[in-house]
A and B are shown apart, each in its own frame.
Chain A
């Protein structure tokens, strides 16, 4: 090697230290291969074993787990819980860099008085320490989000809270919007029920308010004169965060529901506090799983569900044993998302659900866990919070998995979980893009906010990234979703096959899933 080459090479190496080296990207698409095989009607192997049970729950997401938890709690013995392709579904977690971190949902707002079964669960777990039946129970502080809760990156600085004051007109609009929210929180419809309630099944049926579902949230905001860019960005962010859809596609009823339904309080936290754990909502799922017991847990996924003479026959594929099981049950709780159910459950049309007209749109999401060897150094302003959001971004910011640890010193390693709903396109177009996207494409999208905030420090500090691709992550409440007759029919199913999933509400939050799981279990217990 000549000296000149050597110098060039070493100069190149020095420069190379500041260029992005390849980060280990792990792409994880739970249930995709299995789901697409069902959709494509691949031939199923013949069953090689038979099993009998009284009740079979299909799916171990929050709806299925809540159903199983309730049955077990009430001493119901004869049931099985099928894991589905991804145990715990949207409440699943990964373990990276010495900490649990969410692969899906990461927080639960303090439940209000109407979400009785959620409060009951939390009290049983000890998360509510006392006063579960009172308006403001006393919570275990370790699970309440620790200060600082959230911050916003704007103009190269971090600010506390997600809405920054703007000019006088903007501030007036922001004030007006939240005054309306406070007013609507208390408001009751002609039937005496709260207009916006969680669970939504208990909300008022007053047609005057449900008419909000006929227009988009954007149309409503325009009509009401909410033009402030700060406020509009924030409201759009909220829609993408909770529903996976922009405010231009979200139903006005749903957009307001996000803000006006929450009325939970805690004796020992602010009213807007949330419950969170390093693994997101996974500890809740794990608790219910443990209450159900290992003996009732069955790995595998349902391939076909058919009603035969008032009983239900389910074909279950167990990939580990490479075998097909035929399970005979008196009743089945179908706790899987509806876009899967239509390929599994025979005769959905006869139950009143037509896939073409009634299927709610399912938004695709990326949940990306960035494992860090060191905490990156921070820009000026408010210190690292639990939830960190970038103003104006089309992404949804990131949460810090180790935030809830009680430590004087930061741990050596941590995980930042970045959320991104592919909401800027139709779900179908976004899924087509995901199908052909390279790892680098996914990475670019997943790292949008982290790259904006940390720049090259991201390369220096991040060790690996796991990108969970959820092609059909959640149902989005688009205008008209409240009058979806197909969903209404499935909610009312009380035969050998019944349904339990947040899809039945038309939007995906823990409390809705828990409500439908609990409702299914109660129907069985009542019988």
Chain B
């Protein structure tokens, strides 16, 4: 009999550690900062176990076995489903994720904390000698922990993934409950009810196990379609990099920023109409573009002596200057000797800096909210004006003239309001659709390049000519410039995309 109990201690201990490891790994995987995540989860878990051990004394002597069985079932259910639940919560909204995660860890901790004291009391009631009892229970407790600490990173996590590993241990907990029920069937009141419940829990866990692929797909891939190879919530945004075969994609706050399949189209169109026309240019400023892809194109020009790249998010520029797959894509541009990376809010940096640049490349996120809308406003372009050389050229990514015509022409109107001459153009980028840019300068004499000295994958004389022509379905519409008082651009952008997505 005692052998059964000791074996169950082994299983119980391994399950307990497994839930803790799963929560820690999952959270650092989803939120980053693994040292913090692991420390806080282990702390919360151990504290909760302490609370559980304390609570165990309120279990009446005659109910210890029954309580042990009930607790096993609960741990199995909650612990087993924890990873799946966390995935789902995270997919829906990242805000309550931490609260749900700590609540789950605490619950599991309390329940696991009650297990060992209860087992010891059961054995104690069976007149086992105390020194024998303590030594055997704790030996198997620690052995179980050792087994899982090795199995988890080497076998379970890579082979089964988080969700199914959790479910597997849930099944083990439920199995211990059933086994105990059976082994002590004479000592347990209301046996049938307990066995029935154990059956239900096992059924629930096994069903979840069978469908867990579907569930995680729903949670993880359902968001982005592909495998997530990096996900991080920074102070400023949620950054996710996905991969499907050779296609790398970056999403910021759920919006696609580039796909490695066709980003060359976007970045060639963004950079070369400006720089191919400025053979004398030496100094370039990039606002936004922390992925280093526009920078890669700029650095192809030997005449460029220095590029300053101002991007808000240090996590972004760090990732794109260190992760091998991403530096392969941007050719290590962020680490180039000619490039200086500044992490600052673009307007703040422009306000506090007096340099002028021969070319300015502006690659901000779309104006989806009032804060981002300010980056496309009259005062913002006035700031840009102060930093642009008299005969320099600048370009701004300007949403889609096809899907968001009011937004696109609003940016054009805003630049004209400041006094710039503008040359709107567009290019087809398969993952975005027809995309728009606006080239602008203080002087009125710009001619789109008729040939490119550097080899291009997308641009040539013909495609460039077409870029600067607007067919009837993308003609200029009459709109107000984006003034800070009304922020018309944010309203136009909402209207435009509402019409597309309706």
Contact = CB atoms under 8 A, between A and B. Distances in A.
Which of A7, A147, A383: most chain B CB closer than 10 A?
A147
Nearest to B371: A408
B372 A408 contact: yes
A365 to B, nearest CB: 28
A408 B365 CA distance: 10
Contacts of B377: 141, 406
Q: Which of B348, B380, B484 counts the most chain A CB atoms within 10 A? A: B484
A141 B370 contact: no
Nearest to B236: A409
Interface string B480-491: 000111110010
A7 B485 contact: no
Interface string B19-51: 000000000000000000000000000000001
A199 B15 CA distance: 78
B485 A144 contact: yes
Interface in A389-405: 405
Nearest to A383: B370
B104 to A, nearest CB: 17
Given A3-B54, A147-B490, A270 B485 contact: yes
Contacts of A270: 485-486
Contact of B487 (A7, A142, A146, A266): A146
A409 B345 contact: yes
Given A148-B370, A383-B370, A409-B312, A7 B54 contact: yes
A268 B377 CA distance: 12
A94 interface: no
A410 interface: yes
Interface string B321-347: 000000000000000000000000111
A380 to B, nearest CB: 13
Given A141-B379, A408-B364, A147 B485 contact: yes
Contacts of B378: 141, 268
Interface residues of A, number: 23
Contacts of B364: 408
Interface in B195-248: 235-236
Interface in A415-465: none
Given A3-B54, A141-B377, A407 B348 contact: yes
A407 B483 contact: no
B149 interface: no
B369 interface: yes
Given A7-B54, A407-B347, A268 B485 contact: yes
A126 to B, nearest CB: 12
A145 to B, nearest CB: 6
Nearest to A404: B484
B255 to A, nearest CB: 14
A270 to B, nearest CB: 6
B interface bracket (residues with beta carbon within 8 Å of A): 20 to 34
Contacts of A38: none
B85 interface: no
Contacts of B348: 405-407
Contacts of B51: 7
A77 B483 CA distance: 41
B395 interface: no
B375 interface: yes
B249 interface: no
A146 B374 contact: yes
Contacts of A405: 347-348
A149 B374 CA distance: 14
Interface in B161-208: none
Contacts of B485: 141, 144-147, 149, 266, 268-270, 273
Contacts of B375: 406, 408
B407 to A, nearest CB: 15
Given A142-B484, A145-B485, A410 B54 contact: no
B125 to A, nearest CB: 23
Interface in A141-180: 141-142, 144-149
Nearest to B365: A408
B484 A407 contact: no
A146 B371 contact: no
A407 B371 contact: yes
Contacts of A408: 236, 312, 345-347, 364-365, 371-372, 374-375
Nearest to B486: A147
Interface of A: 3, 7, 140-142, 144-149, 266, 268-270, 273, 383, 405-410
Given A147-B486, A408-B364, 6 more contacts: A141-B484, A145-B485, A268-B485, A406-B374, A406-B379, A408-B374
4 smallest beta-carbon distances between A and B, as pairs = A147-B487, A269-B485, A406-B347, A146-B484
10 contacts: A141-B379, A146-B485, A147-B486, A269-B486, A405-B347, A408-B345, A408-B347, A408-B372, A409-B345, A409-B371
